[in-house]
Amino acid sequence: MSSPDQDPVQHPAGGPAVNRRAVLAAIGLGLLAGGCFTPLYAERTPNGGVSAQLANVDVKTIEGRVGLQVRNALIFELGGGAGNPALAPYRLEVDLTENTQSMTVDPTTGRATVELITLNANFRLRDETEDKVVLRDRAFAQGSIDRGAQIYARDRAKRDAENRAAREIAARIRERLAAYFTAPTPPPPSPADKTAGRR
């Protein structure tokens, strides 16, 4: 007499019968494999997790109106609305450039009808405790505007596009910093490695 978990189960589509125990084992393996994945912002590091590390980044002043928008968005993205931390162990420095391109031109008037605004950011993350740059990277974001005949409407549209691009570039910088804090820290070189390096 066979046990119930060993009885074959008929395939609902009329296919070959499958063993109930094999099905349960496959489900169990799937659940175990699912436990191998850890969310990016999980609180698993000794210093309180990625969120706590991001909140310990001081965002330095960025020049210009758009730079102010990027800095404000970064402070909110990193600290969750808690503000810029004082005496933080990390400092973020951002160099921002803006470029405007005419994408389409009215053939009658020769004026641009659609413009593309591109923000480029070169940023550095500095570890203040060791006084060294631990991460260098870049990010960019774009926003398009329909350029109307009215100058004030065009200026307002340009400002809105710049603000959208500023929020987007801040989100991309945050993702890069989160990836840096999530990566395991390489162990310091052993004395033998240092000796081999001198040779």
Beta bridge partners of 114: 104, 146
Average pLDDT in the 134-150 region?
Answer: 84
Angle at 55 between CA 49 and CA 60, to 5 degrees: 145
Please state, in angstroms and rounded to a whole number, the distance separating the CA atoms of residues 7 and 183.
Answer: 47
List the structure tokens of 34: 């699912």
Mean pLDDT of the chain, nearest integer:
77
Confidence of residue 144 (pLDDT cuts 50, 70, 90): confident
Q: Choose between 151 and 34: higher pLDDT.
A: 151
Q: Which amino acid is at 50?
A: V
What one-character DSSP code corresponds to residue 4?
G
- Whether the CB-CB separation of 76 and 174 falls below 8 Å is answered with no
Instruction: Give, in order, the Cα–Cα distances in Å from 177 to each of 41, 56, 130, 169.
Output: 11, 11, 18, 12
Angle between helices 65-79 and 151-182 (to 10 degrees): 40
pLDDT digits (tens, 9 = 90+) for 41-95: 444 444 568 888 999 999 999 999 999 999 999 999 998 888 888 889 999 999 9
pLDDT in tens, 83-99: 888 889 999 999 999 99
- Cα 20 from Cα 1, distance rounded (Å): 16
Domains and CATH numbers, the chain: 50-182 (3.30.160.150)
Three-state SS at 40: coil
d(CA 178, CA 140): 17
What pTM does this model have?
A: 0.65
